[in-house]
Chains A and B, each alone.
Chain A
Amino acid sequence: VSTRRTGISRRTLLRGAGVGLGLPWLEAIAQSPAQRNPVRMAMLYMPNGVNTAHWYPKGEGRDFELSTTLEPLAEFKNQILVLSNLWNAGAKGGDGHYCKESAILTCATIKKTPGVDIGNATSLDQAAAQRVGDRTPLPSIELGVAPVAVGVDLAVGYTRVYGSHISWANASTPLPRELNPRVAYQRLYRAGAGQSSDTAKLDTLLLDRVLGDAKRLRGEIGAEDGKRLDEYLSVMRSLEQRVQRSASGERRNWKARVALLPENAPTEQPASHEEHCQLMLDLIATAFQSDTTRIATFMFGNAVSNVSFRFLEGVTMGHHDTSHHGKAEDKLRQYQIINRWHVEQYARLLRKLGSMKEGDSTVLDNSMILFGSALSDGDSHSPHKLPIVVGGGGGGRVDTGQHRRYTEDTPLANLYVSLLDAFGTPVERFADSTGPLAGVLRG
């Protein structure tokens, strides 16, 4: 058991016992891991599945050959882990997209509803953020490029809210994504810059006041109608805690590992889908390098995304259209080109993280960047054999450089048990997990 993990469990114990922050020895704990490189974790989600004929690598174990779609990862072959045959059992049945894509990080069975009893579960990223998110200025970031999908899919009876969110704070709260690169950067910058104690004091007073209003209103409203006010209360309280932390002694022990500069904020209006995706992925690199947060999720598009990929040579249609290939050669070809483009963007992020030095290692060495889709073949909406890759060494814990092929329908949740362990937030179980995923972590 590493000291890092011990530190966290003590801290968690502390919180469980209801002891306030700011105890002198807590600073000592906060200081010691600062010497070490923190582990970061991100998930890049690709909608619509993959052309399965071109995804899976040949061979197993350390001796494997990348497929045409995964080829852009060649330079990282020793720093990735390709995982085949995983699935989320909770997503079988249901509709073609929402039940799978919305549950990619929760491994739950979502509730079929136009909204009133929306139900998923806490996602991988938030499970981690809720435990150690207070070590960094922002607990996590959620990024995307496409606005939340409009309406209810009347044909299948699911609100499209499902398909637009992979990060869930709890069963009923999907987390909105930042879409504007500039605004997202400014948020990182400001969070890192912190607040003066005067501003923090004023913000705290203000939040106390509105919390007072909320409590009174809550008292006037019955349980079934007050759900949203409960959300308000809990969110404003956590914001208040964050404000206080940002000016407290504890926070002063956090230092940006690389300073962010306001003048480096990227454009507000990227010229293309490609530029937009790249700017958002750059933000993950920036956030991780500076240690503004250690947890991020990114969606290349919403479920059923039909973004036009005609900007790619040889592609004439939208993403979702190609995924319903009906085994037609031309569509399958276009589908694969689009898949590969996503892998290229992923490789670009790995490259960027790999170029960021941290002592003797790189940010990539200390990260776990998950990439994948919640469907394998998009035409049949298959939830089996999910295309999943993990990139980065996770601080030396992840046993990269392999292609692992598991027994078919091994729970994807097992991978999450392993990742949470490497991240320093171990859990006994995650959703339907049956244990850690064999071979992911070093012994």
Chain B
Amino acid sequence: MIRARLALLVSLPVALGAQTGGFSFDDAQRFLRANCQACHQGTSPAGGFALRDIATADTMRTRPERWNKLALRVRHGEMPPKAAAAPPAAERERFLEWADSALRAAVCSAGATPGRTPVRRLNRDEYAATVRDLLDLQTDLTSFLPADGAGGEGFDNAGETLFLTPLLAEKYLDAAKFALDAAFKEFKPRARILVARPGDGVTAEQAAHAILSAFLPRAFRGPVHEADIAEYMSLFRSAQKQGLEFESAVQYTLRAVLVSPRFLFLAERMDEYALASRLSYFLWGSMPDELLFDIASMGKLHDPQVVRALVPRMLRREQSLDFVKRFVDQWLRTRQLETDKAPDAKLFPAWTTDAEIQSDIRLQPALFFHEILKRDLSLLDLIDSSQTVLTRKLAKHFGEPLQVTGADQQPRWLDLPKGSTRGGLLGMPAVLAVGSYPYRTSPVLRGAWILEAMLGTPPPPPPADVPALEKQASADAPKTVREMLTQHRANPACASCHSRIDPLGFALENYDFIGRWRDQDNGKAIDNRGELPDGTIVEGPQSLKNALLERKDQFVRNLTSRMLGYALGRGLTAQDSCAVDQIVSGLKENDYRAQKLIELIISSAPFQYQAPQGAKK
């Protein structure tokens, strides 16, 4: 059944072929023979891995896991090992680029298939938002629970890293009690829960039943059977037997509901209601509202027309900003501004003394992305735009003549003056700070940040035996960061990556460690020029953005992967990359419109379906 529907839904991806950029399967074999064969051959190959096992093009389809592992180890600089000679960087790059696309082509020959999304618990933010919406409560429960780590595509909603521990179990019990105590004391939440009371011919038993019949389907995010209600009724009765009054007994019973796995976990079976939950946890980070429940009950959530109408409506709701904040904060790593990357208090006191400027800086990228989504603008605006989100204080912080109308401190969406360098994410202090040390800029960190966050190609970690920048202390030692980096790149082991990293960062040197514009650093004029490995000269922010726009496909593909991973709450597999391909080509046909990205993700096979039990990952 699923297969049949998929066949209709999924068209074959554009064939990428086993040859990309002039690099063929045979070239790959030559690369492997030259760099790996010495160890990976014979009767006991190193690591039990022999090149002969992957000697034919067919093995890309039959043994993709081998190929994936190989590519990953080369990418992370683990192979060839330190002791062996490293392949020339350009060749390594070409091999990796080829491996990526050839593997994708091999895996996608059968079309996009859904993967398996295992059952997962709500993460801390989702839990707090769900309790808030379920109980109509304004109290924020976030601080009750420990923060969650991240897995998969780098987000804290990835099922693989949402563990359940004794401490968390205790906290769930405490938080449920706290939330219900608060809810029973407030008028609105109380009225919403207590839909019936004993008296006037209504027994306590009947009233409790009515309350649970209304509460359980909302808490469990789908229809419940009479038998389920009966189970909780018996808990209610036990409570009364223990001497609890009606309201206390109801409160106690609801506390169990909030600790039940049916509340705490998102189902893995993809029925209509589960799809409604997936949708609302994607775009709101909370439970579905009544409209979504209704659409689910009509079985309309698979309908692309319905999805198209739903997306703008869901994005208009205030909760969608929670989604954008969480996504952007983790995608861009700006969440680190709360910890390691907090600007130095001595050099930038306003960060600690002025809560407004801190929050303006922190929120700007998310507010910007949110506007792009709501206004359905181009995703390429993230690279460069003629408009941005600003507050009065932020404009002043920039040290540029930007006019923000109005006297208040509200963020505004406004046109940037011609020639402004503040368009796109790269003009934002939050982004510029996360690519700096807390006390000075770093072209290396900014360059690596661009490669990772914007292009999805993080450089491997530096090899351990390479001297760091300041090691060469001598009389003629270079003085500036640029001079040091130039010397660094003279070493071929460093040059292979730093020739890719550094020029990107140099182009942003006009921004200080917290994103303020500067023409000089320590009395020296800023040199914002660099040369990319392909010979492109980048000079200053605008030309960097132009260079990134040249790579828009790579940027859009990376953004799509990250957002699909977020939407699914798990890491992507080789199979998912076929869905990513389809979404990317769909975006291309639609001028990279932002809402299209959301629509296409929701309509994608991995989002809509679940592979049958036992299907391989």
Q: Mark B215-249, 1 if CB is under 8 A from A, else 0.
A: 00000000000000001100100110011100000
Pairwise interchain contact B149-A224, C-beta atoms closer than 8 A: no
A205-B167 CB under 8 A given contacts A150-B333, A224-B116, A226-B119: no
Selected from A203, A217, A331, the residue in CB contact (under 8 A) with B265 is A217
Q: Mark A299-317, 1 if CB is under 8 A from B, else 0.
A: 0000001111010000011
Which residues, 120 to 161 on B, are CB-close (under 8 Å) to A?
Answer: 120-121, 143, 146-156, 158-161
A148-B232 CB under 8 A given contacts A116-B570, A173-B163: no
Selected from A180, A213, A226, A238, the residue in CB contact (under 8 A) with B166 is A238
The answer to the question of A328 belonging to the interface, with a C-beta cut-off of 8 Å to chain B, is yes
Q: Which residues of B contact A179 (CB under 8 A)?
A: 146
Chain A residue with Cβ nearest B228: A213
Q: Which residues of B contact A228 (CB under 8 A)?
A: 118-121, 159, 162, 164, 265
Contact stretch, chosen from B401-409, B465-473, B597-605: B465-473
Pairwise interchain contact A148-B148, C-beta atoms closer than 8 A: yes
The answer to the question of B173 belonging to the interface, with a C-beta cut-off of 8 Å to chain A, is yes
Chain B residue with Cβ nearest A304: B340
Bound form: Cα–Cα A308–B148 in Å: 23
Pairwise interchain contact A95-B471, C-beta atoms closer than 8 A: no
Pairwise interchain contact A169-B165, C-beta atoms closer than 8 A: yes
Chain B residue with Cβ nearest A226: B119
A115-B261 CB under 8 A given contacts A222-B613, A239-B169, A310-B344: no
The answer to the question of A404 belonging to the interface, with a C-beta cut-off of 8 Å to chain B, is no
The answer to the question of A429 belonging to the interface, with a C-beta cut-off of 8 Å to chain B, is no
B418 to chain A, nearest CB (A): 37
Q: Which residues of A contact B340 (CB under 8 A)?
A: 305-307, 318, 320
A157 to chain B, nearest CB (A): 6
Q: Which residues of B contact A77 (CB under 8 A)?
A: none
B465 to chain A, nearest CB (A): 7
Pairwise interchain contact B470-A331, C-beta atoms closer than 8 A: yes
Pairwise interchain contact B460-A159, C-beta atoms closer than 8 A: no
Bound form: Cα–Cα A381–B462 in Å: 12
Pairwise interchain contact A115-B470, C-beta atoms closer than 8 A: no
A295 to chain B, nearest CB (A): 13
Pairwise interchain contact B460-A227, C-beta atoms closer than 8 A: no
Q: Which residues of B contact A365 (CB under 8 A)?
A: none
Q: Which residues of A contact B465 (CB under 8 A)?
A: 380
The answer to the question of A296 belonging to the interface, with a C-beta cut-off of 8 Å to chain B, is no
Chain B residue with Cβ nearest A228: B119
The answer to the question of A175 belonging to the interface, with a C-beta cut-off of 8 Å to chain B, is yes
Contact stretch, chosen from A229-237, A279-287, A335-343, A390-398: A229-237
Pairwise interchain contact A150-B468, C-beta atoms closer than 8 A: no
Pairwise interchain contact A202-B252, C-beta atoms closer than 8 A: yes
Pairwise interchain contact A176-B153, C-beta atoms closer than 8 A: no
The answer to the question of B438 belonging to the interface, with a C-beta cut-off of 8 Å to chain A, is yes
Q: Mark A253-283, 1 if CB is under 8 A from B, else 0.
A: 0000000000000000000000000000000
A149-B613 CB under 8 A given contacts A174-B163, A209-B232, A225-B268: no
The answer to the question of A327 belonging to the interface, with a C-beta cut-off of 8 Å to chain B, is yes
Q: Which residues of A contact B437 (CB under 8 A)?
A: 317-318, 321
A328-B468 CB under 8 A given contacts A203-B173, A222-B613: yes
Chain A residue with Cβ nearest B461: A155
Q: Mark B261-285, 1 if CB is under 8 A from A, else 0.
A: 1101100110000000000000000
Pairwise interchain contact B268-A173, C-beta atoms closer than 8 A: no
Selected from B161, B335, B439, B469, the residue in CB contact (under 8 A) with A159 is B161
Q: Which residues of A contact B169 (CB under 8 A)?
A: 235-236, 239
Q: Which residues of A contact B170 (CB under 8 A)?
A: 187, 239
Q: Which residues of A contact B481 (CB under 8 A)?
A: none
Selected from B152, B261, B458, the residue in CB contact (under 8 A) with A229 is B261
Chain B residue with Cβ nearest A96: B461
| Most interface-central of B151, B265, B467 (chain A CB within 10 A) | B151
Bound form: Cα–Cα A121–B239 in Å: 41
B208 to chain A, nearest CB (A): 14
Which residues, 499 to 557 on B, are CB-close (under 8 Å) to A?
Answer: none
The answer to the question of A160 belonging to the interface, with a C-beta cut-off of 8 Å to chain B, is yes
Pairwise interchain contact A201-B119, C-beta atoms closer than 8 A: no
Bound form: Cα–Cα A198–B244 in Å: 11
The answer to the question of B255 belonging to the interface, with a C-beta cut-off of 8 Å to chain A, is yes
Chain A residue with Cβ nearest B162: A228
Pairwise interchain contact A232-B261, C-beta atoms closer than 8 A: yes
Bound form: Cα–Cα A238–B448 in Å: 45
Q: How many A-B residue pairs have C-beta atoms within 8 angstroms? Tell me.
A: 233
The answer to the question of A19 belonging to the interface, with a C-beta cut-off of 8 Å to chain B, is no
Pairwise interchain contact B167-A175, C-beta atoms closer than 8 A: yes
Selected from A115, A212, A379, the residue in CB contact (under 8 A) with B151 is A115
Bound form: Cα–Cα A160–B154 in Å: 9
Chain B residue with Cβ nearest A165: B149
The answer to the question of A221 belonging to the interface, with a C-beta cut-off of 8 Å to chain B, is yes
Pairwise interchain contact B256-A210, C-beta atoms closer than 8 A: yes
Pairwise interchain contact A328-B152, C-beta atoms closer than 8 A: no
Q: Which residues of B contact A249 (CB under 8 A)?
A: none
Bound form: Cα–Cα A118–B571 in Å: 12
Pairwise interchain contact B161-A115, C-beta atoms closer than 8 A: yes
Q: Which residues of A contact B346 (CB under 8 A)?
A: 310
Q: Which residues of A contact B342 (CB under 8 A)?
A: 308
Chain A residue with Cβ nearest B614: A222
Q: Mark B352-375, 1 if CB is under 8 A from A, else 0.
A: 000000000000000000000000
The answer to the question of A291 belonging to the interface, with a C-beta cut-off of 8 Å to chain B, is no
A239-B154 CB under 8 A given contacts A203-B173, A328-B470, A379-B468: no
Q: Which residues of A contact B166 (CB under 8 A)?
A: 139, 169, 175, 235, 238-239
Pairwise interchain contact B339-A146, C-beta atoms closer than 8 A: yes
Q: Which residues of B contact A236 (CB under 8 A)?
A: 169
The answer to the question of A418 belonging to the interface, with a C-beta cut-off of 8 Å to chain B, is no
Which residues, 46 to 88 on A, are CB-close (under 8 Å) to B?
Answer: none
Q: Mark A195-224, 1 if CB is under 8 A from B, else 0.
A: 000100111011101101110010011101
Selected from A155, A176, A310, the residue in CB contact (under 8 A) with B76 is A155
Q: Which residues of B contact A224 (CB under 8 A)?
A: 116, 118, 613-614
Pairwise interchain contact B235-A206, C-beta atoms closer than 8 A: yes
Q: Which residues of B contact A310 (CB under 8 A)?
A: 344, 346, 439
Q: Which residues of A contact B150 (CB under 8 A)?
A: 115, 150-152, 159-161
A106 to chain B, nearest CB (A): 16
Q: Which residues of B contact A146 (CB under 8 A)?
A: 339
Q: Which residues of A contact B460 (CB under 8 A)?
A: 155-156
Pairwise interchain contact B467-A155, C-beta atoms closer than 8 A: no
The answer to the question of A147 belonging to the interface, with a C-beta cut-off of 8 Å to chain B, is yes
Bound form: Cα–Cα A174–B149 in Å: 10
The answer to the question of A326 belonging to the interface, with a C-beta cut-off of 8 Å to chain B, is yes
Pairwise interchain contact B339-A178, C-beta atoms closer than 8 A: no
Pairwise interchain contact A152-B461, C-beta atoms closer than 8 A: no
Bound form: Cα–Cα A188–B150 in Å: 28
Q: Which residues of A contact B330 (CB under 8 A)?
A: 150-151
The answer to the question of A403 belonging to the interface, with a C-beta cut-off of 8 Å to chain B, is no
The answer to the question of B590 belonging to the interface, with a C-beta cut-off of 8 Å to chain A, is no
Q: A116-B151, A205-B242, A228-B164 are in contact. List 12 more A-B contacts (CB 8 A).
A: A115-B158, A115-B161, A155-B461, A173-B165, A176-B146, A206-B173, A213-B231, A213-B261, A228-B162, A232-B121, A235-B165, A329-B473
Instruction: Pick 9 A–B contacts, CB within 8 A, sort by A.
Output: A152-B150, A155-B76, A156-B460, A161-B149, A172-B163, A187-B170, A206-B256, A228-B162, A229-B119
- Residues of A that sit less than 8 Å from B by CB: 95-96, 113-118, 139, 142, 146-152, 154-157, 159-161, 164-165, 169, 172-180, 187, 198, 201-203, 205-207, 209-210, 212-214, 217, 220-222, 224-229, 231-232, 235-236, 238-239, 305-308, 310, 316-318, 320-321, 324-331, 379-381
Closest 6 CB pairs of A and B: A115-B151, A326-B468, A161-B149, A115-B160, A176-B146, A328-B470
- Residues of B that sit less than 8 Å from A by CB: 72, 76, 116, 118-121, 143, 146-156, 158-170, 173, 231-232, 235, 238-239, 242-244, 252, 255-256, 259-262, 264-265, 268-269, 330, 333, 335-336, 338-342, 344, 346, 437-439, 448, 452, 458-461, 464-465, 467-471, 473, 570-571, 613-614
